[in-house]
Copies of this chain bind each other. A is one copy, B any other.
Amino acid sequence: MYVYGKNTLKEIINSGYPLKHIFFSNSKAERGKLSELIDFVESLGYSFSFTSNEALEKMVFTNKHQGVVIDIGEEFNYSNVEILDSKKELFVVILDQIHDPHNFGAIVRSSVAAGVDAIIIPKDNAVDVTPIVVKASAGQIFKIPIIKVTNISRTIEILKKKNVWVYGADSLGKPYYQIDYSGSVCIVFGNEGEGIRKNVKNHCDELISIPMLNNVESLNVSVSAGIILFEIKKNKNIV
């Protein structure tokens, strides 16, 4: 998969995520702006080469590559639920069938900033990690495990056995700011149109909502996630 952008490259390097090759623009205009980054990449011994802006554009289907395209291998490096075993107190996010890559990316970005330990997504009927998701995450996706599972309900039951309290974000829930989030918590956010699937909702310990005015029925899911995750960060006093 080809991902792009200067910040994305920096985050990949900082996180130690394995990358295969870096393509830099060979245009004079770009190379001046990139010289520091190229020196840095060279000093670390990464494999890189130069190619035209047009070739870069063809690789990532956008001209917003900033002269940097990164080959991170066939598929994104997903994690397994077992990696959660090593941590004592968990703060986990489950995304139940999110479809919009911009929403997924923005939630990843917010999750890293709020101190979330991992994000769990389903194998089917959801957006995977794509170049747009990586870009929308501002490269933050390389700092957090993305766990792909076959069955969200079963995963919730596994989390419950680890003493994780599982909240579902739903308009009929208790106001999100009337909750004590101490201990291990997981928040489930549902699909853009439909919310959390009924069957998944039934597995949650408790539902939480964001009270709204003026008969607004819902917020953009990445906004809802930001509001709730940062309330939890504040509540847990994670610094």
Contacts and interface: CB of A to CB of B under 8 A. Distances in A.
Contact of A109 (B110, B136, B220, B226): B220
A140 interface: yes
A239 B211 contact: yes
A216 B109 contact: yes
A216 B113 CA distance: 6
DSSP class of A's interface residues: helix, strand, loop or mixed? helix
A102 interface: yes
Contact of A102 (B14, B102, B215, B216): B102
B177 A213 contact: no
Name, among A138, A218, A226, A234, the residue most crowded by chain B CB atoms within 10 Å (CB to CB). A226
Nearest to A224: B226
Interface string A100-119: 00100010011011110000
A211 B234 CA distance: 9
Given A138-B218, A220-B222, 20 more contacts: A102-B102, A106-B223, A109-B216, A109-B219, A109-B220, A110-B223, A113-B212, A113-B216, A114-B212, A114-B213, A115-B213, A136-B220, A138-B217, A143-B214, A210-B230, A219-B226, A222-B222, A223-B225, A227-B227, A227-B230
Interface of A: 14, 102, 106, 109-110, 112-115, 136, 138, 140, 143, 177, 210-220, 222-227, 230, 233-234, 238-239
16 contacts: A110-B220, A110-B223, A112-B213, A112-B214, A113-B210, A113-B214, A114-B213, A115-B214, A140-B216, A213-B238, A220-B222, A220-B226, A222-B223, A223-B226, A226-B226, A227-B227
